[in-house]
Amino acid sequence: MMMKTKILLLLVTLTGSVVHAQTFDKQGDRGARGLMPENTIAGMLRALDLGATTLGMNVVISKDNQVVLSHEPYFNNEISLTPAGKPIPLKQEQSYNMYKMDYTEIKKFDVGSKVHKRFPGQQKFKAYKPLLSEVIDSVEAYVKLHKLTKPDYGIEIKTVRKGDLVFHPEPAEFSQLVMDVVEAKKMSRRTIIQAFDIRSLQYVHEKYPKIRTALMIDEKEDFENNIRDLGFNPTVYSPYSVLVGKGLVDRCHAAGIKIIPWTVNSLKDMEYMVGLGVDGIITDYPNLFMRLELPKKK
């Protein structure tokens, strides 16, 4: 025990923070969105095969309080087909509100067959929006079968502006429904709860102080102001990659907070981020991690 303590202290001394002693986080966004339909079981398994250490996913809530993988609380016209196989017009997509549908109805929509204009290289096949519990079960079984390293689950609680009780429950209820699944599956130690909405993170931090949290940022605002508004230091500060510079990386590390930018989709940009000293990368193309050279541990 004394030797382990000395080693930990040495790591802190050499790096200035335990943050730097951790493994670089290779996170597949929505599974492997650039390669497979987003937020699907097949996409998550593909990310695992490509060496992702964290499976990034978004969750919403159905009418019958099921936690469902989806980036929007409605059926996005870019990726969705109705149960009859028809496309959903952009102007009508929000009328396909999953918070007003039971999961049995949600599961009938196809979110894997339509060609994605922004990700034309996606493999196409019929797919549905799975339950968070089903995703965890599938991933854990796959990892065991193929003797892979167990991944972390980066679960983003996906609220929308002025969406409370319209597109999703209020943040406290929403967050609790997610945590009920995490705890039932005994995945607390391997879960990081992510959100742009600070209300969700504040609830989780208060009720589950040991759960790791990630504050996601998409607007240019001072790091210190964002942390002050949140009210505590999250495990991770996760800004849009164009907002990241050496100064921000240094301020995060000085506060003992990891910085993991999103969404970094070229090898050149990944190499730039690594050079800045980030602690991980979120990408739609986890296959790029195989070509990314990371600094060797000192």
137-191 tens-digit pLDDT: 999 999 999 999 999 999 999 999 999 999 999 999 999 999 999 999 999 999 9
| Burial profile 162-178: b = 16 or more Cβ within 10 angstroms, e = fewer | ebbeebbbebeebbebb
- Report d(CA 106, CA 37) in Å as an integer: 16
Q: Is the pLDDT of residue 226 over 60?
A: yes
- Report d(CA 176, CA 201) in Å as an integer: 11
> Residue 1: its pLDDT value, please?
43
pLDDT tens by residue, 32-70: 999 999 999 999 999 999 999 999 999 999 999 999 999
Proportion of the chain above pLDDT 70, given as a percent: 92
221 band by pLDDT with thresholds 50, 70 and 90: confident
Proportion of the chain above pLDDT 90, given as a percent: 90
- Report d(CA 114, CA 81) in Å as an integer: 7
2-11, 170-179, 241-250: range with lowest mean pLDDT: 2-11
Q: Is the pLDDT of residue 2 over 50?
A: no
- Indicate the pTM of the whole model: 0.92
88, 80 contact by CB (below 8 A): yes
Q: How much is the mean pLDDT over the chain?
A: 93
- Report d(CA 251, CA 141) in Å as an integer: 40
Mean pLDDT of 185-205: 98
| Burial profile 233-251: b = 16 or more Cβ within 10 angstroms, e = fewer | ebbbbbbebeebeeebbeb
> Residue 296: its pLDDT value, please?
76
136, 153 contact by CB (below 8 A): yes
Q: Is the pLDDT of residue 15 over 70?
A: no
More confident residue, 29 or 4: 29
pLDDT tens by residue, 247-271: 999 999 999 999 999 999 999 999 9
